[in-house]
Amino acid sequence: MEKTITDLLELFVSLVSNVGFPIMVAAFLLLRLEMKMEKLTEALVNLQETLRGLRELQVEDRKF
Give the CA distances from residue 22 to residues 3, 18, 26, 43, 60, in Å, rounded to whole numbers and listed in that order: 24, 11, 6, 32, 57
For the chain, which residues make up each domain, given as ranges? 5-63
Given this model, what pLDDT does residue 1 score?
56
Given this model, what pLDDT does residue 34 score?
95
pLDDT per residue over 4-57, tens digit each? 888 888 988 898 888 888 888 888 899 999 999 999 999 999 999 999 999 999
Q: How many Cβ atoms from other residues are within 10 Å of residue 26's Cβ? A: 12
pTM above 0.75, yes or no: no
Given this model, what pLDDT does residue 64 score?
66
